[in-house]
Amino acid sequence: MKRIVNILILTLATLVGYGQTEKQLVPSDLKQLTVVTEPSTLYKGFFRAGTALSYAVVDKYFTNDRNKEYFLNSAWATNSGFNFIFQYGITDRFQVEAAFPLASNIRQSESRLYVPSADTTVEYSFTLKSKGIGDCYLTLKYQIMNEKASNTSLIGSIDVTIPTGEKNPTYIKGETDYDPPLGNGCFATTAGLRFRKIQYPYSYSGYLYYTYQLPGSKIMDPSDTRETEFKDGNHLDAGVNFSLHLNEWIALTNEANLYYRSKDKIDGKIPDYANISWAVSYEPRLVFQIKRFRISEAVRIPVFGKSMGADPIYVLLAQYVF
Amino acid sequence: MPYNQRPLTLYKGQLQINAGYQFAVRSKSYNADGEKISLKTDGSASIMHTYIFELKYGITDFIEIGMNSYYLRNGIRSESGVTLSGSDAVTTNSLNEYKGFGDLTLAAAFRIPIEYKSYDVSLKGGITLPSAEHQPSEPTHAITDYVSPNTYTVNYHFNNNNGIGVPIYFFAGSAKITLSKISLEASGNYSFPAKEGESIRWNWTLIGSKFTYNSIPYNYLPDRTLTINGSVHYQAAGWLDLFLSNYYSKTSSGWTEYYNLKYANPETALFTIEPGFELQVSPSLTIYQYAGFHLTGTNTDAPFYLLTTIRFNMFPFWK
């Protein structure tokens, strides 16, 4: 009898032990985590590289009265580019990130001038194109609240925007014949917090970032002969995000974002035409995780706003973890 | 169900909901000689946002009914004009806005009553009801940047709706053949209006800075449309179907009345290819996406487009 009891105890102990065994993730598995299950910062020694292709057409804007209106002048303008993003995990809680944007902006305007006294019509058109590197940025992220214990994290981040893009118009041959600048011409620094909770197959997050714009100087108009001192309005980014797995390797993320920007200053003063601008946007994103390779498609749709552009931005992102 | 294993209509009791978004860049068109015209240099390029809704239900394994509609937003600017007179300048901008729901289409499809293995044939017919507003709403022209009685900007803003205004009948036929992972599908669709329609044009008068409007009725007959579609599909995996479609459409026989005279609408033709994929995310959820590139055409706009659709499948009445 005692022998039977011992066998039963041993069998039960084995079963309990088996039941409590957690799947051990090997490094290759860790590199294949999805946007829902991955930690808020990269694991130590992991390196992720990727590029984000963005495309937007300038078509509508939010008026000062918060109405969404079409631009009425006959013009065609697109903003597109690649943003090359590199991330590295220094420790399991500390990550650095650098981004180098290559932008391509085109503005094409068509109009017709009619002079009745001379009975003459002149077609007047111009195209402004700019291609090249924009302003780069460097970001440090740290898990203030470690995610490992409870799948809950609080991440603090500091971001510095470096004005590597050309800040002044170049190749100026006339008022409507020049290459517009791609850079903003000033340093900016952003600090913020992001709270995130993973509850498989979901994850939730909320964030708040504040950007302080440092003063700078640049040529505002191609006809200017000297640079003008300016300081762009500081801005605030806040949002909430809800992500879910549609299956084991496809996730859908939903983000609502509030952007608020204070008034700009020119030569140390706020001009009369300056406005506070803000927008509330919704951004759905489909994220495909194929092993270590990630592709995502997103559209940022401005829903409400004031004194700023109201056009959707399409983003296609591809990333790989080495 | 993977594309290469499913028939042309739904199964009995199957409910399918499709929700799609199409982003289109209307930056070129074709003239009557089939030459490509850049709408960017013409000053009238625009963006179209279309939201598509579709509901289908399988009555039996061989009969399916469905309905669909859409919501479209498009603002077409025309080339701006400036009339100069000494130091005075009157600038004119013009915007044709299309905004609102399209008409509601009801359809029924029948397929040959055999179990689908490698080939299928179906017939479809239906009606597009004039459920959406067709007549243009009153314009909202405005004067802005007023400097003096001879220096100001006139912004012409025309408010159009997306309805056709009369019922449109259509019938279609489709055939599909599957050879292992490769499938071929072909379909043809012919639509024609049930009757002539009546619409209005808006005239306006500017007194001071105030516009007054009056409408003038006119008759019209929508075009008849023939579309032919062929596609080749490769079932790369159970969850992934890659396809390349081609699409030809031709319109004819429509007319529009101007000053009590009927003028034939220009006949249009357009040939498009659509590479895309269909992704089976879960048993009930499918995502498909394709892009449209126009290769040739006459008398028509040729927007590049990207369509993304999320499809839900369910059997709501099964116990």
Tens-digit pLDDT profile for residues A60-103: 999 999 999 999 888 889 999 999 999 999 999 999 999 999 99
Cis peptide bond prior to B2, omega within 30° of 0: no
Q: What is the pLDDT of residue A211?
A: 96
CA quadruple B209, B217, B30, B163: dihedral positive or negative?
Answer: positive
Query: Cα–Cα distances in Å, from B269 out to A233, B71, B100, B200?
Result: 51, 24, 26, 27
Substitution target in B22, B38, B82 with the highest count of A β-carbons within 10 Å is B82
Task: Establish, for the pair of chains A and B, how many residue pairs have beta carbons separated by less than 8 Å.
Answer: 82
Distance, CA of B309 to CA of B288 (rounded, Å): 5
Distance, CA of B307 to CA of B295 (rounded, Å): 18
Distance, CA of B146 to CA of B211 (rounded, Å): 15
Q: What is the pLDDT of residue A19?
A: 47
Q: In this predicted complex, what is the ipTM?
A: 0.85
Tens-digit pLDDT profile for residues A20-48: 444 555 666 776 788 788 888 898 999 99
State the Cα torsion A87-A91-A92-A94 to the nearest 10°. Answer: -60
In the DSSP assignment, the letter for residue A226 is S
Instruction: Kindly determine whether residue A59 and residue B46, on different chains, have CB atoms separated by under 8 Å.
Output: yes
DSSP class per residue in A162-204: E--S--S-EEEEETTEEE--SS-SS-EEEEEEEEEEEETTEEE
Beta strand A94-115 with B63-85 is parallel
Q: What is the pLDDT of residue A249?
A: 86
Minimum distance, in Å, between the CA of residue A232 and any CA atom of chain B:
27
Describe chain B by its helix, strand, coil percentages, rounded to 5: 0, 70, 25
Tens-digit pLDDT profile for residues A199-233: 888 999 999 999 999 999 999 988 888 999 999 99
Rounded to an integer, the average pLDDT of B75-88 is: 90
Tens-digit pLDDT profile for residues A271-310: 888 999 999 999 999 999 888 899 999 999 999 999 999 9
Tell me if chain B has a CB within 8 Å of the CB of A113.
Answer: yes
Minimum distance, in Å, between the CA of residue A311 and any CA atom of chain B:
10
Spell out the domains of chain B, with CATH numbers in brackets: 3-68+100-128+162-203+222-314 (2.40.160.40)
Instruction: Kindly determine whether residue B47 and residue A114, on different chains, have CB atoms separated by under 8 Å.
Output: no
Minimum distance, in Å, between the CA of residue B216 and any CA atom of chain A:
26
Q: Which residues contact A17 (CB under 8 A, 6 or more apart)?
A: none
pLDDT level of residue B299 (50, 70, 90 thresholds): very high
Indicate whether A6 pLDDT > 80: no
Determine how many CB atoms are found less than 10 A away from the CB of residue A289: 22
Quick check: B94 and B75 in contact, CB under 8 A?
A: no
Nearest to A54 by CA among A319, A308, A320, A313: A313
Distance, CA of B95 to CA of B86 (rounded, Å): 27
Beta strand B151-160 with B88-101 is parallel
Beta strand B168-179 with B182-193 is antiparallel
Judged on CB neighbours under 10 Å (0-12, 13-18, 19+), A57 is buried
Spell out the domains of chain A, with CATH numbers in brackets: 33-101+133-321 (2.40.160.40)
Quick check: B248 and B269 in contact, CB under 8 A?
A: yes
Average pLDDT, chain A: 89
Distance, CA of B25 to CA of B307 (rounded, Å): 12
Rounded to a whole number, what is the distance in angstroms from the first to the last CA of chain B? 20
In the DSSP assignment, the letter for residue B137 is B
Q: Which of residues 92-151 of B touch A (CB under 8 A)?
A: 93-95, 97
Tell me if chain B has a CB within 8 Å of the CB of A60.
Answer: yes
- Looking at chain A, the whole-number percentage of residues with pLDDT higher than 70 is 91
**CA A312, chain centre distance (Å):** 13
